[in-house]
């Protein structure tokens, strides 16, 4: 068994929750620091280890087509950027000693806010032809070999194992969007009770998701928590949703769903807060998530973590 396979199996055996692990990994990419649970959030550096590491941001990989998102960091947990990275998937069948290579795909670099920072992730369209989670029930193992060249000419190599489920936890592309009843704002609503956005736009809370799905218009729905976002990208993503609403409000509906119920009552500890029912209904392991739904109420595109305006707008235009 490879060391990567052992790591994955130990994660499953120890019952690590996907949402906690994914959020911590996103925080590493976003801040350039590694945070260890139980240390009060203080950054710590891992002893030794490889020169570079690939940090998976995607938390819902499944058999079929996927939007793969990952970051690269060096041994000091400093984010690494490059114009492009190459991703070579390898699958080790159950009981096999050797991995079988799949076609290499290119991953483009997408910068995260603020502009001019070194923060960002790599995004690729990747097909997994079978599931593999390195578990007893699903013993196959997927590994990704990542190579890139920095603007300074430094050659980067990193390898990581990933879990590939038989089906995604979030709605699949082409599947009906869950008709969730989400909080809405009336004339007398205190918006701080339904969103943690510092300057909320009431129009984004005018309709519940279930109402928008009955309207016959496309829908762009963002699940995020601006005040309690681990990756610090929920706010910028909400700003993008607002700009798209300004452009297309006559052609589509736009909704922001706050991840937590009663956000005005949260006293800083997001892990003790209660999530709204829609988070479970949509199977969300992390945030932010943005979904584009077509006129027939089927999911046509989905994006985990911060996604530039142009990508979401292009997906929306395909539904108009």
Q: Which stretches of 184-227 are assigned E, i.e. beta strand?
A: 219-224
Six-digit token pair at 268? Answer: 């800083």
- Give the pLDDT mean for 192-196: 97
Same domain, 141 and 249: no
Does 288 sit behind a cis peptide bond, omega within 30 degrees of 0 on the bond before it?
yes
Same domain, 16 and 134: yes
How far lies 223's CA from each of 32, 80, 243, 285, 300, in Å? 24, 28, 16, 11, 16
What is the per-residue pLDDT across 255-304, written as a single tens digit (0 to 9) for each? Answer: 999 999 999 999 877 888 999 999 999 999 999 999 999 999 999 999 99
Same domain, 157 and 202: no
The Cα–Cα gap between 257 and 279 comes to: 9
Q: Which of 109, 143, 162 is the last residue before a domain boundary? A: 162
CATH code of residue 256: 3.40.30.10
The Cα–Cα gap between 237 and 307 comes to: 7
CATH code of residue 24: 2.60.40.1940
Burial of 265 (0-12, 13-18, 19+ CB in 10 A): exposed
The parent domain of residue 116 ranges over 3-162
Query: What's the first-to-final CA gap in the chain, in angstroms?
Result: 50
Q: 38 near 30, Cβ under 8 Å?
A: no
Same domain, 101 and 213: no
Same domain, 208 and 299: yes
Say yes or no to pLDDT of 74 above 50.
Answer: yes
Residue 183 lies in a domain: no
pLDDT at 48 (0 to 100): 63
Residue 246 lies in a domain: yes
Q: Which of 145, 162, 179 is the last residue before a domain boundary? A: 162
pLDDT at 47 (0 to 100): 58
Same domain, 293 and 247: yes
Residue 52 lies in a domain: yes
Q: Which of 144, 162, 180 is the last residue before a domain boundary? A: 162
Count of the separate structural domains present in the chain? 2
Residue 171 lies in a domain: no
Residue 311 lies in a domain: yes
Q: Within 10 Å of residue 319's Cβ, how many Cβ atoms? A: 19
**Residues 306, 170, 206: CA angle, nearest 5 degrees:** 70
What is the per-residue pLDDT across 225-256, written as a single tens digit (0 to 9) for each? Answer: 999 998 889 999 999 999 999 999 999 999 99
Residue 178 lies in a domain: no
CA dihedral 259, 265, 270, 275 (to 10 degrees): -30
pLDDT at 269 (0 to 100): 76
């Amino acid at each position: 068994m490879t060391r990567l396979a052992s790591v994955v199996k130990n994660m499953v055996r120890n019952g690590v929750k996907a949402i906690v692990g994914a959020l911590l990994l996103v925080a590493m990419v976003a801040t350039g620091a590694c945070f260890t649970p139980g240390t009060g959030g203080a950054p710590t550096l891992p002893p030794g280890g490889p020169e570079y590491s690939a940090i998976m941001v995607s938390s819902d990989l499944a058999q079929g087509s996927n939007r793969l998102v990952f970051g690269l960091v060096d041994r000091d947990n400093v984010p690494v950027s490059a114009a492009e990275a190459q991703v070579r998937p390898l699958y080790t069948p159950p009981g096999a000693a050797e991995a079988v290579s799949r076609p290499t795909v290119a991953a483009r670099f997408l910068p995260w806010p603020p502009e001019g920072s070194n923060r960002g992730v790599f995004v690729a369209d990747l097909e997994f032809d079978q599931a593999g989670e390195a578990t007893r029930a699903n013993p196959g193992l997927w590994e990704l070999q990542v190579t890139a060249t920095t603007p300074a000419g430094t050659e980067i190599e990193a390898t990581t194992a990933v879990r590939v489920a038989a089906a995604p936890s979030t709605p699949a592309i082409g599947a009906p969007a869950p008709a969730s009843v989400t909080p809405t704002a009336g004339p007398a609503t205190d918006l701080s009770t339904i969103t943690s956005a510092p300057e909320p736009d009431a129009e984004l809370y005018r309709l519940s998701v279930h109402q928008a799905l009955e309207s016959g218009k496309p829908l762009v729905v963002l699940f995020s928590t601006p005040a309690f976002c681990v990756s610090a990208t929920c706010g910028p993503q909400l700003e993008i949703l607002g700009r798209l609403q300004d452009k297309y409000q006559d052609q589509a509906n736009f909704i922001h769903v706050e991840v937590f119920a009663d956000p005005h009552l949260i006293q800083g500890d997001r892990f003790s807060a209660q999530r709204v029912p829609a988070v479970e209904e949509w199977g969300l392991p992390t945030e932010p998530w943005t979904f584009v739904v077509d006129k027939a109420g089927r999911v046509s595109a989905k994006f985990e973590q911060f996604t530039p305006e142009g990508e979401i707008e292009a997906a929306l235009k395909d539904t108009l």
